[in-house]
Chains A and B, each alone.
Chain A
């Protein structure tokens, strides 16, 4: 297969064996014959720092990606809102390359804008404020100085808090804002966007200044999961497991 595969929001975690099995099958199946695999954020349910690679589960996931990258598949990982602390040691362990958010790559002969998708949800101002804080060097330095145990406790508490917050928010502010999407097409001068985060898999066609642009939203793996396949010379295809 001369093509690229795109996944996001796998949320891999020791306590979700179904998603883990799907991931192993995916890496050894469709991904093994691709040219490139793009993981567009939230590979892990949470990531508290690369020193947590000592957790055997994380080593196993990195090992699967390592075998894939060693076989010649280009493995690219973008930060999500759960695993934005993935860094150099994870890249060395997995053979993956960190991809900036946003990035434009060439896929199937088309310049394709890749994002995790959280920055498109501009209506969720509380989340954007938290994101800005958590992505700052100062916050990360301070967080990473804490013990693994302390960080794990903090993140688990944050997840709990986040569930409560999400339950109390209207659904529309947690989706991509149309204006932010249109702007992304204009500023990056592309006609194709692939992102995840919203857990609303779809193929949207957007008219931007008379240009036909397409937005592919990837599925999460809390449910059946799936991936987007872009082969040379053919239309993208959203594959569900």
Chain B
């Protein structure tokens, strides 16, 4: 069992080391959501009033509403980045090294997800601190209560990224694929507007898409967790999405059953 933990430790350390060596990634991980908060939220503060809807007990400023969505955005980018690192590993040959390690393949993929999730949670907590410094109001204990939601949300989004890496073989194809995933996920969700607001505007189809978008569940899970509450439906959808995405991805990486081994690629 200790060998399994050491393998996990090795992958987490390497991914962390790589993350901190990539200064631009480090900076953009915080600057990107901070810009949304400071520019977008400030600009729409008076346009987008948010009524009393759970978990909020009163009317709230727009920046308070946006923070969970931006925490989700941090996790979403990290999830895609961790799958990008798998595509990078494939290009430099390191994926072969990982997949020929003496551990079950699903476990090796799992440790990659754990590494990505840890980085995502850390970035999200740093952003939450930035939001607090920017004057966004939320309970002090939110820093603690949000952690389980960030872990589950981070794992689910990293699993979706892992699934993407099964099908995207080259780094140059990845930017397009990421845009195809990240922006629709973010915009067709409750990250920027509550669903009732979208419904009120008449764009019912967006409401339907947002309702089936797993990213919406991640955002709502985080939103409720910030106030020490659990949104059970969001929890169930997030968990199920992560599990299913991981299982399909693990199958994709299995040479006995997946497409990679049959096609003669790692």
The answer to whether A and B come from one shared complex is no
Residues of A within 8 A of B (CB): none
